[in-house]
Amino acid sequence: MSVVDGVIGRRLRRHSLVEPSADPVAVVRAMCGAHAQVMSAAELSIGIRTTLTRQRVRDAVWVDRALVKTRGPRGTVHLLPAADLPMWTGALSALPQRLRLLTEEQTAEVVAAIADALRDDELTGDELTEAVVARTGAWAGERVMEAFGGTPWPRWVEAMGVASNRGAMCFAPNKGRKVAYTSPRRWLPGFAPAAEGAVELLHAYLRSYGPATEAHFARWLAAPKRWVDALFERADVELVEGGWVVRGDTSWPDEPPGGVRLLPYFDAYVVGSHPREVVFPGRAFERALSGGQAGNFPVVLVDGVVAGVWHQKRSGRRIVVTVELFGGLSRAGAAELDREVARVGEFLEGRSELVLGPVSVGGHA
């Protein structure tokens, strides 16, 4: 078995893409977070790795509070294990931050105001604006932050990422159609960012995606090269063929990678795995990436590498799953694809139908 096959097989197993798990927290921990900008995609990322229902995954977030919805790597919304929040906030708060609309003093003032307002409450964006302005001053509510084609956001919003990174806020269940926020300290008493959170996060990443290089980790976290280089010097890692691993974590599977999986938008496996040309071989590199960025298309994974794209369209309980393959499938692979399509339908609480053919929609459709 080649080194590449060993690396891919190891990643598949650690991501619960070979044998499903019954523990959503362990699955999300092994993924180093489930991308949750689109919540339904995060739920499916967890669902395909587990034996759980969709409701059970939701309960892990909103009832059990075992998972927390907050900002993770690259400043994007993720589901993270609540128990790992000290590591994550310790790492993310250590990243260099430079805001354009707020000074360091104003940023600290806004973060303190957010923490105080959310300590025992759940507030929408508008409610939080009122609370922050009341605790800081009118300057925090000035609508000077560019929005996506709409009314500018108030100045304080620029500090939301910093507040999340420092553990002052996370997402609460929506209030109707409005996004709401709260404090993770409500169910994590004594919570504080870990002093060595950045080293812990690097070790976690390497266990899930290693061997990996400094550049791979920097891209995944959106961290500056100098900061990452200094972090690797402090970490307990060793160099093997292909990149770095945690020292002593050099076990490899005996069997080559196998199986067919349907991964949703921005699934952690494809976003965090490098080199891209290995994970997206041949036609997949052009068809399933957007300028080298992974995640814009749901992908078909065959033997651990991208071998197609797919799209789902729902009408009532009927879910049509269109799969565009870049090559052929063995009889066993075709049977696995059928089972995957059925699992997607089961998890989404519908009745799925497989259609083989071109996927005409673009990324993020």
pLDDT tens, 69-113? Answer: 999 999 999 999 999 999 999 999 999 988 999 999 999 999 999
Q: What is the pLDDT of residue 149?
A: 74
Helix (H) and strand (E) counts in the chain: 15, 15
Percentages helix, strand, coil for the chain, rounded to the nearest 5? 45, 20, 35
What's residue 364's pLDDT?
A: 62
Global pTM? Answer: 0.95
For 100: left if phi > 0, alpha if psi spans -120 to 50, otherwise beta; the answer is: alpha
Q: How far apart are CA 140 and CA 350, in angstroms?
A: 46
Please identify, in words, the CATH class of the domain defined by 260-356.
Answer: alpha beta
Residue 171 amino acid letter: F
Cα–Cα dist 206/210, whole Å = 4
CB burial of residue 259 (10 Å; 0-12, 13-18, 19+)? middle
Cβ pair 54, 348 in contact under 8 A: yes
In the structure encoding, which two tokens stand for residue 204, read together? 């976690």
What lies within 8 Å, CB to CB, of 60 at 6+ separation is 24, 25, 66, 67
Ranges of the chain whose pLDDT falls below 70:
364-365
Angle, vertex CA 171, rays to CA 166 and CA 173, nearest 5: 160
Give just the sign of the alpha carbon dihedral 299, 308, 276, 313.
negative
Q: Which of 170, 232, 229 is nearest to 201 (CA)?
A: 232
- State the amino acid at position 70 in one-letter form: T
How far is Cα 145 from Cα 158, in angstroms, rounded to an integer?
7
- The full set of domain ranges for the chain reads 3-186, 260-356
Q: 83: buried, middle or exposed (CB in 10 Å: 19+, 13-18, 0-12)?
A: middle
Answer whether 199's CB lies under 8 Å from 233's CB. no
What is residue 137's predicted lDDT score, i.e. its pLDDT? 98
Q: Rounded CA gap, 344 and 332, in Å? A: 19
Per-residue model confidence (pLDDT) at position 362? 75
What's the rounded Cα separation, in Å, for the pair 115 and 169? 7
pLDDT, residue 291, reads 83
What is residue 20's predicted lDDT score, i.e. its pLDDT? 93
**In the numeric block, which tokens belong to residue 287?**
């068809």
User: 293 near 61, Cβ under 8 Å?
Assistant: no
Q: Output the pLDDT for position 304.
A: 96
Give the burial class of 149: count Cβ atoms within 10 A of its Cβ; 0-12 exposed, 13-18 middle, 19 or more buried.
Answer: exposed
Q: Rounded CA gap, 362 and 211, in Å?
A: 32
The per-residue pLDDT for 242 is: 93
d(CA 67, CA 115) in angstroms, rounded, equals: 20
How far from each other are the two terminal CA atoms of the chain, in whole angstroms? 38
- Per-residue model confidence (pLDDT) at position 363: 74
> How far is 137 from 184, CA to CA, in rounded Å?
25
d(Cα 9, Cα 175) in Å, to the nearest integer?
42
- Helix 197-209, helix 85-92: angle, nearest 10: 110
- Spatial neighbors of 135 by CB under 8 A, at least 6 apart, are 112, 113, 116, 117
Residue that has been written with the tokens 């690259």 in this structure: 74
